[in-house]
Amino acid sequence: KQEVTQIPAALSVPEGENLVLNCSFTDSAIYNLQWFRQDPGKGLTSLLLIQSSQREQTSGRLNASLDKSSGRSTLYIAASQPGDSATYLCAVKGGGFKTIFGAGTRLFVKA
C-alpha cells in the first residue's frame, strides 16, 4: 500500500530564505508526482508535475526533483516571499487511479 510522507509538517522562515520541502513515498511504481499549494479555505493549485521518467521540473522560483528509486521528491523554493505562505501537498499517482496525498507541509514566511 502506497504511503506518502511529508517532512517537515510545519516550517517558519524569514523572507528571502531558500527552502526545501520533502516528500517520500513507499512504492516506486508511480505514473507521476505532483506538487500543490493550498491556501486556507481554498482548493488545491497545481505547482509542478513530474512524470515518472523525469528527474525534475522548474517553474519560476520553484524546482521539484524526483528520485523514483529512493522514493523521494523535493520542492525547492528560492527567495521565499510572504505570499508563499500556504500548505504544500505532494501527491503520487499510481496504478488503478489511486492518487495518494501526503499530509502537507504548512509554510509560513515572515516579512
Partner 1 sequence: DAGITQSPRHKVTETGTPVTLRCHQTENHRYMYWYRQDPGHGLRLIHYSYGVKDTDKGEVSDGYSVSRSKTEDFLLTLESATSSQTSVYFCATGGLQEEAFFGQGTRLTVV
Q: What does the binding site for partner 1 look like in residue numbers (CB under 8 A)?
A: 31-32, 34, 36, 42-46, 49, 51, 89, 91, 93, 97-99, 101-104
Bridge partner residues of 35 (DSSP)? 48, 90
Pick between residue 10 and residue 103 the one whose CB is nearest to partner 1. 103
- CA 107 from centroid of its chain's CA atoms: 12
Minimum gap (Å) between residue 96 Cβ and partner 1: 9
Pick between residue 98 and residue 110 the one whose CB is nearest to partner 1. 98
Give yes or no for a contact between 3 and 25, defined as CB atoms under 8 angstroms apart: yes
DSSP state of 9: S
Minimum gap (Å) between residue 18 Cβ and partner 1: 25
Single-letter amino acid code for the residue at 18: N
Minimum gap (Å) between residue 76 Cβ and partner 1: 19
**Residue positions counted in the chain:** 111
Distance CA 87, CA 105 (A): 5
Pick between residue 71 and residue 102 the one whose CB is nearest to partner 1. 102
